[in-house]
Amino acid sequence: MLQRRAHPAERALGSMRHRRAAIMLGREVGRAQRQRGRARGAGEVQIDSAIAAAPRSRAATPGAAHDFDVAGALWTLVRTDFKVRYHGTVMGFVWAMLKPLAMFVVLMSVFTFVFPSQDDYALRLVLGLFLYDYFQEATKTGLVSLHAKGYLIGRSHFPRWLLVVASTANPLLVVLTASGAILACLAVTGRTPAPLALALFLLYLLLFSAIVIAFSLASSVLFVRYRDLNQIWEVAVQAGLFVAPIIYPIDVLPERYHRLVYLWPPSSVIEFSRAVLLDGAPPSLRAHLCLVAATAASLAAGIAVYRRFGPGVPEHL
């Protein structure tokens, strides 16, 4: 069995950096052993020792370049994704904005009659739709990101999470552009949000992005094992559009159901954004703390799943 503490190469490691790398690699072997043990009966495969990095190695991970340019690789992935996505389409990037806008026109023409007393219904709807579209598109592309970029994974050893993070960048660009347009509309109509409101809105977008990345990290490594996960998620996010208070004001629901609605991550971000940008009434400190805690929990869970299943991804592709 794996005896990480007893491994001599690991004991010899001179720095914490190398020790951490060795521990991680050792855990990867251990995880492989546990996985196989559970599936086929423990004890069939014996781990003789952990894989360990060397004391003087600048590259603690086998195959990794010691000076890997994370920012450069991320930028190249984002730029080429953008190019592939919009190159050759008639309207390019504008097309990405048209989808939520078309949805807005349809929903607006129907639901203004249903909720005639709702203040700023059009603005609330369009803000909610753009934020939800970001969640929907980013999680869908994030979920298939490792599978879609499998040709890169088999070629070299590099931080694979970059592929997941890069895949969520284009939907983020769309929501940032849409947010800029909404803020411009508010400014033109003399309702420019206060600096604090703007800062809070940016914070919500940041937390929302963290939730999206957390989900994408976990789902991308599960998707290579369960190939119908994208179809299940497609149905879930479609249903989620009606769970989140986008089309309807949350006040139409009895208060006892509000907590349930807020369990769906986009709900709180959409409601908080409306509160600061349109109502000028930021939610309470407790509500903010809850959102931060939920984001931190999502990130921790996403990273844990990614680290558990991520090392086996190349073998499943």
Partner 1 sequence: MLIEAHGLRKAFWIPSEERRTIREHLFGALRRRSFERVQVLDDVDLELDAGETLGIMGRNGSGKTTLLKILCGIYRADAGELAVRAPITPLLELGIGWNPELDAVDNVLLMGTIMGMSLAEARRAVPEILDFAQVERFANLELKHYSSGMAARLAYAVAFRAVREVLVIDEIFAVGDVGFKARCEARYRELSAAGHTTLLVSHDPRTIEAFCPRALLLDSGRIALAGSGAEVASAYVELAQRASAA
Using CB under 8 A as the binding rule, whether residue 36 contacts partner 1 is answered as yes
Q: How far is the CB of 77 from partner 1 (least distance, A)?
A: 7
Q: Of residues 4, 24, 34, 47, which one binds partner 1 by CB under 8 A?
A: 47
Q: How far is the CB of 98 from partner 1 (least distance, A)?
A: 21
Using CB under 8 A as the binding rule, whether residue 17 contacts partner 1 is answered as no
**Half-sphere exposure for 119 (CA within 13 Å, toward CB):** 4
Using CB under 8 A as the binding rule, whether residue 75 contacts partner 1 is answered as yes
Using CB under 8 A as the binding rule, whether residue 53 contacts partner 1 is answered as yes
Using CB under 8 A as the binding rule, whether residue 200 contacts partner 1 is answered as no
Query: Distances from the Cα of 165 to the Cαs of 28, 138, 139, 157, 316, in angstroms?
Result: 22, 10, 11, 17, 20
Q: How far is the CB of 4 from partner 1 (least distance, A)?
A: 13
Q: How far is the CB of 17 from partner 1 (least distance, A)?
A: 14
**147-176 footprint of partner 1 as x/- string (CB under 8 A):** ----xxxxxxxx------------------
Using CB under 8 A as the binding rule, whether residue 67 contacts partner 1 is answered as yes
Angle made by CA atoms 73, 78, 81, in degrees to the nearest 5: 120
Q: How far is the CB of 69 from partner 1 (least distance, A)?
A: 4
Residue with tokens 């592939």: 84
Using CB under 8 A as the binding rule, whether residue 49 contacts partner 1 is answered as yes
Amino acid, single-letter form, for residue 275: A
How many angstroms separate the CA atoms of 282 and 187, rounded?
19
Listing DSSP states for 243-293 in one string gives HSTTSS-GGGS-GGGHHHHHTSHHHHHHHHHHIIIII--PPPHHHHHHHHH
Using CB under 8 A as the binding rule, whether residue 73 contacts partner 1 is answered as yes
Query: Distances from the Cα of 160 to the Cαs of 79, 108, 125, in angstroms?
Result: 17, 41, 36
Q: Of residues 89, 225, 236, 253, which one binds partner 1 by CB under 8 A?
A: 225
How many angstroms separate the CA atoms of 1 and 33, rounded?
9
Using CB under 8 A as the binding rule, whether residue 61 contacts partner 1 is answered as yes
Using CB under 8 A as the binding rule, whether residue 80 contacts partner 1 is answered as yes
Task: Provide the binding-site residues for partner 1, judged by CB under 8 A.
Answer: 9, 28-29, 32-33, 36, 39-40, 44-54, 56-59, 61-69, 71-73, 75-77, 79-80, 83-84, 87, 151-158, 225-229, 232, 311-312, 314-315
